[in-house]
Amino acid sequence: MSTVIWHDLECGSYSADLELWQSLAAEYGSPVLDVGAGTGRVSLHLAAAGHEVIALDSDPALLSALSARAAGLALRTVLADARDFALEVLVPLCIVPMQTIQLLGGTDGRLAFLRCARAALRPGGMLVIAIAEDLEEFDAQAAGYGPLPDICEHDGVVYSSLPTAVRIDGEGFLLERRRETVDAAGTRTAQEDRIRLDRVASRQLEREGHQAGLRTAGHRVVPETRDYVGSEVVMLRA
């Protein structure tokens, strides 16, 4: 359950990209393949709007929560690694929100995913990928200030997730958070959480898409918000 709570707390409130995914689903049709679906931030939004959705993720706990939330909606889940999956149907649209492709372990991981996505797309289908091309380094402790924590309460336990740093890490970025809990008895836990994003530019991603048999089909932008960086959105056509 804690995996689900942390995922919801740290990712679930982001909404700046939802209009883009909904407009693309309306343009290209169903089913929509949502890669890195997690607990359903995008998948549930699209399904509630009447689109058929295939939600793919490698974490069974997150998909279990998503399935429970999707009762009555045209949504099914697929438990698989994004670098190694195959669908039983072809889709007109595959979306990869929130820098998910930058979690795949560099060029080889991205190429493996791109080939799987190409095989899953109908002829003329569209693959749409959100990336953060560059992140500004930040260290809250050194700066003496930082963002406010994300906080929620579940079953009497308060969960707090505080972004503490963004660091350059070789060919990528290291995102650091401090996760803390306090239960009803006042018992406190604390741990550091780190996520590494690969560095990738839109032109590089387009070249890798060409290697996988996809064609460049334009760009979109998701603007930054007070709490989240903006995204460059790369569009590749089968």
Tens place of pLDDT for every residue, the chain, 238 residues? Answer: 689 999 999 999 999 999 999 999 999 999 999 999 999 999 999 999 999 999 999 999 999 999 999 999 999 999 999 999 999 999 999 999 999 999 999 999 999 999 999 999 999 999 999 999 988 898 888 777 778 899 999 999 999 999 999 999 888 999 999 999 999 999 999 999 999 999 999 999 999 999 999 999 999 999 988 878 889 999 999 9
Give this prediction's pTM: 0.95
User: CA nearest 202: which of 166, 157, 232, 236?
Assistant: 232
Percent helix, strand, coil in the chain (nearest 5)? Answer: 30, 40, 35
* Res 26: pLDDT: 97
* Res 228: pLDDT: 82
Q: How far apart are CA 34 and CA 32, in angstroms?
A: 6
Query: Which domains can be identified in the chain, with CATH numbers?
Result: 2-133+200-237 (3.40.50.150), 138-197 (2.20.130)
> In sequence order, what are the residues at sequence separation of 6 or more whose Cβ sits closer than 8 angstroms to the Cβ of residue 74?
30, 47, 50, 51, 52, 53
What end-to-end distance do the CA atoms of the chain give, in Å? 38
In terms of Cβ atoms closer than 10 Å to its own Cβ (0-12, 13-18, 19+), residue 203 is exposed
- Complete DSSP assignment for 179-198: EEEE-TT--EEEEEEEEEEE
* Res 1: pLDDT: 66
